[in-house]
Amino acid sequence: MESAAQIIGIAAMAFNVLSFQGKTVKRVMLCQLTGETLFAVNYMMLGAFGGGLLNVVAAFRSLVFLNRQVCKADHPAWMWIFCGIYLLSYAATFLVFGTAPTPVNFLLELLPVIGMVAVTVSLRAGSAAAIRRYGVISAVSWLIYSIAAFSIGAMLCESLSLISIAIGMARHDRKREESEI
């Protein structure tokens, strides 16, 4: 079971990493949707129910944005709806899935919620620099959670995300800051 979970996690990581190579928004979103769905399975199989549930929500978020026109995905209400669902997912981790309510678990299960909120806020921020800044918060939060859950694919995915964000910040954000001085 653990081996299967790790294989699914590595496949999820591959879809998420490869999603950025898509030529169209639809291709990118479909790859991310697949990665999120696989990460949901990966975390659930590892007993990390909070992370699994939040990836189910992320898959739903991707479906909303895949159907941007029909769902009016650019409306600010979606950000608040998703943030509310993230908080409900956090509560469900303890109330439905039976995660022990210890101080360590309260903090550990809060980390992916912080990551999800950061990504959702970044999508509304409207600049690549903001997406990268919020992306650091998300990647670090999910990386710590993934280490605790021992999801190899998720650890690799977040590590690669942090490297990519750092490169993007060095290439784009730092140059912009220097030109403003």
What would the pLDDT profile of 12-38 be if each residue is shown by its tens digit?
Answer: 999 888 887 777 778 888 888 999 999
* Residue 145 clears pLDDT 70, i.e. is over it: yes
* Residue 97 clears pLDDT 60, i.e. is over it: yes
Banded model confidence at residue 42, pLDDT cuts 50, 70, 90: very high
* Residue 73 clears pLDDT 90, i.e. is over it: no
* Residue 44 clears pLDDT 80, i.e. is over it: yes
4-8, 52-56, 64-68: lowest mean pLDDT where?
64-68
Q: In whole angstroms, what is the distance from residue 138 CA to residue 115 CA?
A: 4
DSSP 98: -
99, 37 contact by CB (below 8 A): no
Mean pLDDT of 149-168: 92
- What mean pLDDT, rounded, does the chain reach? 89
pTM of structure: 0.86
177, 168 contact by CB (below 8 A): no
**Whole-number pLDDT of residue 28:** 80
Banded model confidence at residue 179, pLDDT cuts 50, 70, 90: low
Q: In whole angstroms, what is the distance from residue 19 CA to residue 40 CA?
A: 17
* Residue 123 clears pLDDT 80, i.e. is over it: no
Mean pLDDT of 142-168: 93
Banded model confidence at residue 69, pLDDT cuts 50, 70, 90: confident
Tokens of 56: 């189910």
In 3D space, the residue among 137, 136, 127 whose CA is nearest the CA of residue 172 turns out to be 127
